[in-house]
Every structure is written in structure tokens, then in C-alpha cells.
Amino acid sequence: MSDSKAFIAGCFGHRLTAEERDFFAAERPWGFILFGRNIGSAQQVADLVAELKEAGGRPTTPVFVDQEGGRVQRLRPPLAPNYPPAADLGRLHETDAPAAQRAAWLQGRLIAHDLAGYGFNADCLPCLDVPAPGAHSVIGSRAYSPDPAIAATLGRAAADGLRAGGLLPVMKHIPGHGRGNADSHLEMPVVEASFGELEASDFRPFVELRSLPAAMTAHLLYRAIDPERPATLSPVVIDTVIRGAIGFEGLLMSDDMSMKALRGDIGDLSRAALQAGCDLALHCNGDMDEMKKVAHAAPPLAGAALRRAEAAEQIIADGGEPADEPALRAEFHALIADLV
């Protein structure tokens, strides 16, 4: 993987086109990500994931998906069961903390089982954002709890479940999306809270889970930290907060560079994210013209970014532990039976 470049790519449809195969062979993205537009039949998904791994040139080429449960779940029945949103597990924690922790672990483990069956080896979970009153609903039920300690506890359980199933977990959206006043898919959210307020709440789950292997940035402007640049593009946020106050030393990928929170040429934006301290630029929409710009902006992985990428990929290489999936699923359904 030493010649892989510092970006993660999407693709447009259900199979790779000849142009995409040639592009990936030439530009060598470190990994890939799939979305709902890429999901058809079970065999088709498995074939596409296998094509992407072949394009990456390594059996451990990371292939990501957002499979959280609730409204963010790219694989749906009959390809994978629906799972409750994180907030439901948070509500369970209020009445039975051990049951909620076990349910969060089981959900991670069962999602890993579902995804691994198609060849996926990485999941953008857990969502550690701490929702604040009055914030935009884009996070909403994706968050475990407004209590940062509960968010950390359940997020850790979910990440441990994924790892037990051989998948690389990616915590998001560091350093915290819960106060966002807009949907970053559409426009730039601005956070007015002081550094002290953020440190007391938003940052805390990420501090607790700072030893996780990978994280995804938030496209948010934290006015008290960097009034000009969102976290993804801010060397101040990445150095002072993510690497400093939070103490995260793992692989840092951007959120999707094609989201409308970021304005400007996507090549320039990708270059800025990487220069700010992101290890990888994530580009999801499969638009070839945009991908070419991202690839042009992305250097070969080297130095600390390469070491972090290798450590993350080692988790994929290590694989998972065998499990009695029917028994785990029955236990999970018993625990969440009242979550309606």
C-alpha cells in the first residue's frame, strides 16, 4: 500500500465502468466507499466490493459504508436487517445501562456480520456527536445521548462489536457535530460555543475513545477556535483540538469533500484538507471529473499518514472472531424488544 494515494473514492453505479477501473489503477486511492446508489442485489454488492478490492490491489483494501442503524443505513432488507438508531440505545441506557451496553456491542457485532458477508471491511460507526438543544436535526437520533459519558460508553461498545467482527470502526464527526445549526450536506454549520463549553461536552466522547484507529472530521465552523475555516480545512482545529486537546493519534479522514458545506474547487478543497492535517480526503459522489481533481490533489501516503493507514489496515488484516450469529441476534432482539 506504500504507493496508495491519500484519498478514498466512490464509484457511480452498480459495477465499475472501464473508465473507473482505469482511473483507479492509475491513481491508486487507499480505499473506497459505497452508498445507496451502489446497492442492488446481494450478488451485485458482493461483486462490486470484490471489484474495488481488486482495483485497490490488496485483499485488505478498505471498502467503507455508512451502516449505523436508524435512518443512516445503506444496506436495507432483504440485504441486511434494519437496526434501531443510536438514540434508542441511549434511551435503553436510562433504564438499564448494562443491557444498553450489551445491545450496542451486539448491534456492532451483527452489523459486522452483515457487512462482512458482502466483503465490506470498514464501517463509519460510531457516531459520537453530542446533540445540543436547538441544533439542526441532521444528527438527531444518530447520536446516542446528550450525555457525553453515555455517548462514549455506547460508542465504545459499538466500535468493539465491529472490531470483534473484523471491521475497522470510524468514529465521527470529530471534534463534534452535535451543535451544528445547519445540515452540512447543504450548507456550512456554525458553532458559537466557547472552547470551554466544547471541551466540557462535545469533545468528551472523542477523548474517551481517542485510542480508536480511525476518525472522520466534521464540516463545522467552530467560531471560537478558527473563525475562518471549518474543522476539515483548519490546521488550528486539527492540531490544537483533534491531535492536541482530544489526543487522537489515529487515521484522520475528512468527511465527504463534495458536501455543500465546503465551497470552492474540489481539488483546492482536498489539497487544503490534506495540508491542514487530514490523512485522507474522502470523496463520495462518484463524479469522475471531481474524482480526477481530488486524485490530483492527493499525494502518495507517506510519513505519519502512512503509518496510521497501515495501522488501520492491520485491523482489517487481523480479521474477526467466530461467533454464533443466530444466538447473538436472538439475544439482541430480546434486549431491544421494548424499543418501539
Q: What is the pLDDT of residue 97?
A: 98
Q: What is the pLDDT of residue 269?
A: 96
- pLDDT tens by residue, 42-66: 999 999 999 999 999 999 999 999 9
Cβ pair 256, 218 in contact under 8 A: no
Q: What is the pLDDT of residue 1?
A: 62
Residue 2: which pLDDT band, with cuts at 50, 70 and 90?
A: low
Cell of 222: 467552530
Residue 340: which pLDDT band, with cuts at 50, 70 and 90?
A: low
Cβ pair 101, 153 in contact under 8 A: yes
How far is 72 from 159, CA to CA, in rounded Å?
16
Output the average pLDDT for the chain: 96
- pLDDT tens by residue, 66-119: 999 999 999 999 999 999 999 999 999 999 999 999 999 999 999 999 999 999
Is the pLDDT at 35 greater than 70? The verdict is yes
- pLDDT tens by residue, 164-186: 999 999 999 999 999 988 777 87
Q: What is the pLDDT of residue 188?
A: 83
Percent of the chain with pLDDT over 90: 91
> Residues with catalytic annotation?
185, 255
User: Which one is predicted more confidently, 306 or 134?
Assistant: 306
pTM for this structure?
A: 0.97
Cβ pair 99, 335 in contact under 8 A: yes
Residue 150: which pLDDT band, with cuts at 50, 70 and 90?
A: very high
Contacts of 312 (CB under 8 A, 6+ apart): 62, 168, 213, 214, 250, 251
Mean pLDDT of 199-208: 98
